[in-house]
Amino acid sequence: LNHNAFAKAKQRLQNQAKPPGSLGMMEEIGARLAAIKGTIDVHLTNKQIITCAGDHGVVEEGVSAFPAEVTPQMVLNFVGGGAAVNVMGKHAGARVKAADIGVNYDFDPDLPIFHKKVRHGTDNFTKGPAMTREEAVKSIEAGIEIVNELHAQTPVDLLGTGDMGIGNTTPSTAIIAAFSGLSVERLTGRGSGVDDKGLAQKIAVIQKGLDINKPDPKDPLDVLAKVGGLEIGGLAGLVIGAAAKGIPVICDGLISTAGALIACELAPAAKNYLFASHKSVEIGHKYMQDHMGLEPLIDFKFRLGEGTGAAVCMELLDLATRILADIKTFDEVGISTNS
Task: For residue 206, give every residue at least 6 positions away whose Cβ sits within 8 Å of its Cβ, in sequence order, or none.
Answer: 170, 173, 174, 177, 184, 188, 227
306 is annotated as an active-site residue = yes
Q: Give the shortest CB-172-to-a second copy separation in angstroms.
A: 15
Q: How far is CA 327 from the centre of its chain?
A: 30
Q: Please choose, out of 109-117, 131-139, 232-240, 318-326, the segment that lies near a second copy by the rule CB under 8 A.
A: 318-326
The residue among 77 and 170 lying less far from a second copy, judged by its C-beta, is 77
Strand partners, 250: 160, 275
Rounded to whole angstroms, the Cα distance separating 119 from 104 reads 8
> Distance from CA of residue 227 to its chain's centroid?
18
Q: Is 62 exposed, middle or buried (0-12, 13-18, 19+ CB in 10 A)?
A: middle
Find the binding residues for a second copy in span 244-303 (CB under 8 A). 281, 297-303
Q: Is there a contact between 170 and 260 (Cβ–Cβ < 8 Å)?
A: no
Residues 41-80 that bind a second copy (CB under 8 A): 65-67, 69-70, 73-74, 76-77, 80
Which positions from 292 through 311 interact with a second copy, judged by CB under 8 A?
297-304, 306, 308
Q: Is residue 111 near a second copy by the rule CB under 8 A?
A: no
Least spacing, CB of residue 1 vs a second copy, in Å: 23
Q: How far apart are CA 263 and CA 223, in angstroms?
A: 12
Question: Cβ 74 to a second copy, closest distance in Å?
Answer: 7
CA distance 94 to 49: 7
Please count the residues of this chain forming the interface with a second copy, following the rule CB under 8 A: 58
Distance CA 239, CA 216 (A): 22
Q: 27, 61, 231, 306: which one is catalytic? A: 306
88 scored as a contact of a second copy (CB under 8 A): yes
Q: Known catalytic residues?
A: 306
Contact residues toward a second copy (CB under 8 A) are 16-20, 22-26, 65-67, 69-70, 73-74, 76-77, 80, 82-84, 87-88, 90-91, 192-193, 281, 297-304, 306, 308, 312, 315-316, 318-319, 322-323, 326-328, 332-339
